[in-house]
């Protein structure tokens, strides 16, 4: 073995460095495993010096900074901010390697710049499944003056010349996780978030590849496990490669290290697959399942209970008798967790008041929440409660008692968002107060679940008594993490959903301490297909709240059949966001059958491999059991298309030799339909028997799909099909 090479060996990729002690290790590879001795290629010191360059033109190392003669984005930017003489010094660092601990699964590098008096520790860890490498960086001030940190990359890695396609995530309220494809050029590709939460507009992840196809070709993914400000950037290098950096975006002066202090970046999660976007997602999903999610009391995940969320059913109109009826109707269609949304607490009749006053409204709940909670439990369901702890309404008892607890800048106009202000959570007395309020609620009642909402960006978020001090973004987020951790320690059985006006706070950082994210306030099935597609690139389906909304979407006004709405929601953590009482008996029965279908498939949906893709005018999603013996496939018509016949959809993940029973549990009615082909009649009836090789080559026969409709197909190994009989939905 060449001792000059350091290799992290993932299941289907590697990270490779060349040691040049005491100089910094040089990047050789982040991507497919290579049998070739990659150090032989002159990438670093051995390169000929080009004309009109510094005599040493540095190649990409693990911590490139200005002092190395590095003219690209440095991995660390900062300077001394001590007295007048010291101010601005040490901005130009040059780190040397002083210690290495390395094996096939982890690296730990210690680097020092004795002149700038700074130490950096980098940690790289491959997860046990070999899917994802997690890295973070810690900076220590060894000097005698303060050091201001402007940027510290959590990861700084190379991408090869051919990786020129990028998917970034964009969006707005009710349209999160939109995948935006671009071709990388000479400009730096950069996405910043400065909203104090991930935001609808951004998601702290980026995907890169040469073609970025569904199932083929190399694909790189990077995700910052952090629920606040962030920067993702890809910069072209002088040798044609590109450098990917990601980390926390820091406001000016937000991090100043006193002598001896340390600053740690959030974790960056890095992965690669040669199986395209689906291969990449499978690795991230496994990592989230095994390393990120922590289920109550350290136990494995229980089957994800089907929700009913009251928001779109009643909004702020809470009436105990009506809610009890709603709960009964929900239980009847198979709901397992009833979540009481906004509107239950002191004087909360619209979104202008009351945030902070976390006790039941006396008019709506004269005997408190107990009667409703007991009713819900008596129906055999869990009870969940909506809260928005980080916020305070100017019209609230809490604000009248503690106006200084809100993040407002003295001498500046008040900045409201949804008529509310943000609490200064970094003040220990504020976090303590919130803990006591939530703890009191949780002790008083059997509340199984909190829907933890957060409905505005942080603006004028500054610390200090007059709130004119340093930016409070980072400390607020760390205080939030601390508060959730404390609550979970006090209530180990509690599950929590992270909601932020839909999916504005959904990342591996928040998912380390919560169990579900509310993917979007948009329950329009057509729009949801794209939203869920983006979120599923990184996050596994069991954490993505996906609700069957009312026939006419409250956010888009579009009308969809129950079958289309259900076929889309089926592939997440299922819920209902509608007034079930309004449904006629036939619609209730149909809804119950969809809920039953989800329950019958949820171990596959929530523990198998999820693949997705696009064909002209169509989107599809397939969940396959780990043993390849069962799969559920949905194909959606998302746009009209010129094709007169349906395309083929070859399926992956099944065993060639196994015979499968292939059966449609839902086929849409086709206007102007001629006679139905015999194959499709069989598909919709008793099912067809096809072997895995045929399904891999041609896929199942597909029916014509009218606009905004879906077909849902069960594929079950024929010898097990009898016990796993399909539930007829039509
Ligand atoms: C925003 C959330 O995304 C909704 O689901 C709902 O909980 C409202 N807030 C309540 O105010």
From the CA of 453, how far away is ligand 1's center (Å)?
A: 7
Tokens of 267: 């974790």
Residue 729 has pLDDT above 70, yes or no: no
Taking the CA of residue 501 as reference, the ligand 1 atom at the shortest distance is 3
Whole-number pLDDT of residue 564 = 98
Mean pLDDT, range 260-286, rounded to an integer: 98
Residue 451 has pLDDT above 50, yes or no: yes
Q: What is the mean pLDDT of the chain?
A: 95
Q: State which of 343, 393, 453, 504 you would mutate to test the pocket of ligand 1, scoring each by most atoms of that ligand within 8 A of its C-beta.
A: 453
Domain-embedded: residue 44: no
Q: How many C-beta neighbours within 10 Å does residue 31 have?
A: 21
Cβ of 502 closer than 6 Å to ligand 1, yes or no, is: yes
Domain-embedded: residue 482: yes
**Residue of the CA atom closest to atom 2 of ligand 1:** 501
Contacts of 329 (CB under 8 A, 6+ apart): 580, 581, 583, 588
Q: Looking at the annotation, which residues are catalytic?
A: 453, 521
From the CA of 501, how far away is ligand 1's center (Å)?
A: 6
Tokens of 667: 């086929």
Same domain, 577 and 636: no
From the CA of 521, how far away is ligand 1's center (Å)?
A: 7
Assign 39 a pLDDT band (cuts: 50, 70, 90).
Answer: low
**Residue of the CA atom closest to atom 11 of ligand 1:** 342
Residue 580 has pLDDT above 60, yes or no: yes
From the CA of 205, how far away is ligand 1's center (Å)?
A: 24
Same domain, 515 and 588: yes
Assign 85 a pLDDT band (cuts: 50, 70, 90).
Answer: low
Helix 320-332 vs helix 585-605: crossing angle, to nearest 10: 60
Same domain, 25 and 170: yes
Q: pLDDT tens, 583-603? A: 999 999 999 999 999 999 999
Mean pLDDT, range 6-20, rounded to an integer: 95
Q: What does the alpha-carbon distance between residue 599 and residue 334 come to, in Å, rounded to a whole number?
A: 9
Domain-embedded: residue 43: no
**Residue of the CA atom closest to atom 1 of ligand 1:** 501
From the CA of 648, how far away is ligand 1's center (Å)?
A: 40
Domain-embedded: residue 39: no
**Residue of the CA atom closest to atom 6 of ligand 1:** 311
Assign 84 a pLDDT band (cuts: 50, 70, 90).
Answer: low
Mean pLDDT, range 471-498, rounded to an integer: 97
Q: What does the alpha-carbon distance between residue 149 and residue 157 come to, in Å, rounded to a whole number?
A: 20
Q: pLDDT tens, 170-180? A: 999 999 999 99
Cβ of 499 closer than 6 Å to ligand 1, yes or no, is: yes
Cβ of 311 closer than 6 Å to ligand 1, yes or no, is: yes
CB of 704 within 8 A of CB of 673?
yes
Question: What is the total residue count of the chain?
Answer: 730
Tokens of 406: 């809100």
Whole-number pLDDT of residue 38 = 66
Same domain, 272 and 321: no
Among 608, 628, 651, the domain-final residue is: 608
Kindly state the percentage of the chain with pLDDT values over 70: 96
Q: pLDDT tens, 636-672? A: 999 999 998 999 999 999 999 999 999 999 999 887 7
Whole-number pLDDT of residue 728 = 39
Cβ of 341 closer than 6 Å to ligand 1, yes or no, is: yes
Among 239, 269, 292, the domain-final residue is: 292
From the CA of 481, how far away is ligand 1's center (Å)?
A: 20
Please say whether the dihedral angle defined by the alpha carbons of residues 673, 676, 677 and 680, taken in this order, is positive or negative. Answer: positive
Whole-number pLDDT of residue 727 = 43
Q: How many domains does the chain have?
A: 3
Beta bridge partners of 307: 337, 575
CB of 13 within 8 A of CB of 33?
yes
Q: State which of 344, 386, 497 you would mutate to test the pocket of ligand 1, scoring each by most atoms of that ligand within 8 A of its C-beta.
A: 386
Helix 473-490 vs helix 428-444: crossing angle, to nearest 10: 30
Same domain, 504 and 370: yes
Beta bridge partners of 575: 307, 547
The DSSP secondary structure of 421-472, one letter per residue, reads EEB-TTSHHHHHHHHHHHHHHHHHS---EEEE---S---S-B-STTS-SSB-
Same domain, 587 and 693: no
Among 269, 292, 315, the domain-final residue is: 292
Same domain, 334 and 461: yes
Domain-embedded: residue 37: no
CATH for 495: 3.20.20.70
Cβ of 511 closer than 6 Å to ligand 1, yes or no, is: no
Q: State which of 390, 419, 499, 516 you would mutate to test the pocket of ligand 1, scoring each by most atoms of that ligand within 8 A of its C-beta.
A: 499
Q: State which of 345, 501, 517, 546 you would mutate to test the pocket of ligand 1, scoring each by most atoms of that ligand within 8 A of its C-beta.
A: 501
CATH for 627: 2.60.40.1180
Tokens of 538: 């990184």
Same domain, 171 and 89: yes
Domain-embedded: residue 300: no
C-alpha pair distances (Å), 142 with each of 40, 148, 259, 266, 298: 37, 13, 6, 21, 39
Find where tokens 């966001």 sit: 577
Same domain, 373 and 359: yes
Cβ of 501 closer than 6 Å to ligand 1, yes or no, is: yes
Q: What does the alpha-carbon distance between residue 513 and residue 701 come to, in Å, rounded to a whole number?
A: 43
Q: pLDDT tens, 180-234? A: 999 999 999 999 999 999 999 999 999 999 999 999 999 999 999 999 999 999 9
Phi/psi at 193 (nearest 5 deg)? -125, 125
Same domain, 597 and 666: no
* Domain coverage including residue 147: 5-31+56-292
Assign 675 a pLDDT band (cuts: 50, 70, 90).
Answer: low
Contacts of 476 (CB under 8 A, 6+ apart): 196, 228, 390, 407, 422, 424, 425, 426, 458, 461
Instruction: Name the nearest CA neighbour of 718 among 678, 680, 679, 691.
Output: 691
From the CA of 452, how far away is ligand 1's center (Å)?
A: 9
Domain-embedded: residue 20: yes
Domain-embedded: residue 185: yes
Beta bridge partners of 545: 518, 573
Same domain, 222 and 125: yes
Phi/psi at 373 (nearest 5 deg)? -60, -45
Cβ of 391 closer than 6 Å to ligand 1, yes or no, is: no
CB of 270 within 8 A of CB of 222?
yes
Whole-number pLDDT of residue 46 = 77
Mean pLDDT, range 557-581, rounded to an integer: 98
Q: What pTM was computed for the model? A: 0.97
Q: pLDDT tens, 494-543? A: 999 999 999 999 999 999 999 999 999 999 999 999 999 999 999 999 99
Same domain, 600 and 616: no
């Amino acid at each position: 073995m060449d001792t000059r090479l350091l290799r992290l060996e993932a299941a289907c990729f590697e990270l490779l460095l060349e040691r040049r002690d005491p100089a910094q290790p040089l990047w050789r590879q982040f991507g497919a495993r290579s049998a070739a001795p990659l150090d032989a290629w002159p990438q670093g010191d051995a390169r000929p010096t080009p004309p009109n360059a510094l005599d040493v033109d540095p190649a990409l190392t693990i911590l490139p900074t200005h002092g190395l003669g590095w003219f690209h984005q440095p991995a660390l930017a900062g300077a001394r901010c001590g007295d007048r003489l010291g101010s601005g010094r040490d901005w130009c660092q040059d780190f040397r390697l002083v210690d290495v601990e390395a094996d096939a699964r982890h690296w730990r590098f210690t680097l020092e710049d004795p002149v700038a008096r700074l130490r950096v520790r980098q940690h790289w860890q491959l997860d046990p499944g070999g899917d994802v490498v997690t890295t973070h960086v810690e900076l220590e001030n060894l000097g005698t003056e303060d050091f201001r940190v402007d940027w510290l990359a959590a990861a700084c890695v190379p991408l090869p010349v051919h990786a020129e396609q990028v998917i970034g995530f964009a969006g707005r309220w009710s349209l999160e996780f939109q995948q935006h494809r671009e071709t990388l050029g000479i400009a730096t590709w950069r996405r910043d978030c400065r909203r104090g939460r991930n935001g609808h507009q951004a998601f702290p992840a980026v995907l890169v590849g040469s073609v970025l196809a569904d199932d083929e070709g190399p694909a790189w993914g990077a995700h910052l496990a952090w629920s606040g400000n962030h920067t993702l950037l890809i910069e072209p290098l002088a040798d044609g490669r590109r450098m990917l950096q990601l980390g926390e975006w820091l406001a000016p002066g937000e991090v100043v290290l006193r002598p001896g202090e340390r600053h740690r970046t959030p974790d960056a999660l890095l992965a690669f697959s040669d199986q395209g976007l689906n291969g990449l997602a499978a690795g991230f999903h496994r990592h989230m399942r095994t390393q990120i999610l922590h289920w109550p009391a350290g136990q494995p995940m229980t089957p994800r209970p089907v929700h009913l969320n009251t928001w779109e059913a009643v909004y702020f109109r809470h009436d105990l008798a009506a809610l009890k009826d709603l709960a009964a109707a929900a239980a009847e269609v198979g709901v397992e967790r009833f979540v009481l949304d906004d509107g239950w607490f002191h004087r909360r009749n619209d979104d202008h008041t009351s945030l902070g006053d976390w006790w039941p409204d006396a008019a709506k709940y004269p005997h408190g929440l107990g009667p409703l909670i007991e009713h819900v439990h008596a129906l055999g369901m869990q009870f969940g409660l909506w809260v928005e702890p980080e916020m305070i309404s100017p019209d609230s008892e809490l604000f009248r008692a503690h106006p200084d607890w809100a993040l407002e800048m003295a001498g500046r106009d008040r900045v409201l968002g949804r008529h509310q202000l943000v609490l200064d959570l970094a003040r220990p007395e504020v976090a303590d107060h919130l803990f006591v309020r939530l703890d009191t609620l949780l002790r008083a009642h059997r509340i199984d679940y909190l829907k933890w909402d957060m409905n505005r960006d942080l603006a004028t978020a500054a610390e200090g008594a007059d709130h004119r001090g340093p930016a409070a973004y980072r400390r607020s987020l760390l205080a939030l993490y601390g508060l959730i951790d404390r609550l979970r320690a006090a209530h180990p059985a509690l599950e929590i959903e992270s909601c932020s006006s839909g999916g504005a706070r959904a990342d591996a950082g928040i998912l380390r301490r919560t169990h579900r994210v509310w993917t979007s306030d948009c329950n329009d099935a057509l729009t949801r297909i794209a939203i869920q597609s983006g979120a599923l690139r990184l996050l596994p389906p069991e954490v993505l709240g996906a609700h069957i909304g009312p026939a006419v979407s409250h956010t888009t006004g579009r009308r969809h059949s129950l079958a289309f709405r259900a076929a889309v929601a089926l592939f997440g953590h299922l819920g209902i966001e509608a007034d079930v009482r309004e449904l006629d008996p036939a619609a209730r029965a149909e809804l119950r059958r969809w809920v039953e279908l989800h329950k019958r498939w949820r171990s596959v949906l929530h523990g198998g491999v999820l693949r997705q893709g696009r064909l002209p005018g169509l989107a599809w999603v397939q969940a396959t059991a780990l043993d390849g013996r069962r799969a559920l496939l949905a194909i959606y018509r998302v746009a009209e298309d010129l094709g007169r016949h349906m395309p083929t959809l070859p399926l992956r993940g099944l065993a060639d030799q196994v015979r499968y029973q292939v059966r449609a549990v839902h086929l849409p009615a086709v206007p102007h339909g001629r006679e139905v082909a015999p194959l499709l009649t069989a598909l919709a009836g008793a099912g067809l028997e096809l072997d895995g090789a045929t399904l891999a080559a041609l896929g199942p026969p597909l029916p014509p799909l009218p606009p905004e409709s879906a077909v849902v197909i069960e594929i079950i190994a024929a010898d097990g099909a009898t016990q796993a009989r399909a539930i007829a939905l039509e």
